[in-house]
Structure 1
Amino acid sequence: MENPDGSPEDPPIFSPKVKFNNDIHIVYRERGVPKAKPNRKIIIVHGFGSNKNKNFQVLQELIEELGIYFLLYDRAGYGESDLNPRRSVKSEALDLQELAD
């Protein structure tokens, strides 16, 4: 794909998303061992001004040795996730609970 000026452009990368009960779409990324056979599952919640692509330093050997599955997601209104105009601390907690389920 090329830009109008003729320079090459990387194709867009689309992350998987899930639709919650409140009709917003949350986009996520998986990392670590396959989710079908982990010893531990960890959901990473990013801070303000960040998103699911935040890089954190964990050795791949340690991830595999401990059998860790990571789920990183864009909170409502961040990154590729839909904005929730009624977002609150409670709605954040409910989003996290629904994502875990």
Structure 2
Amino acid sequence: MRKLLLGLFLLGSLTTLANTVDVILPYDTARVISSDYSTGGGEKTIVYLEVLVELKDGTYEMYTSSDVSVAGFFGMSRWTIPDRFRYIKDKTGNVRNRIVVKW
């Protein structure tokens, strides 16, 4: 039974392989300075994304986002690392003081 559950969870998790993660940046972002994605060492259930941006007023802000990885529950979260992160600046003015990550 455990192997069946593991197989089902991994099948659902592995569909995220080779996906593009869209990161919506605040509307007043001038540029992205750096970004860091952490799988938690392959054995953690939470993955993190940190993005350091420069705002148009010259200040710098670090934003973080996290998500739960089912594969991490089974010690395999590194298998689901996305192949690309796409950074999109919000043009509507709705995203302020945060980032929106579409895992």
The structure whose RCO (Cα within 8 Å, separation 6+) is larger is 2
Q: What TM-score comes out, normalization by structure 2 length? A: 0.28
More strand by share: 2
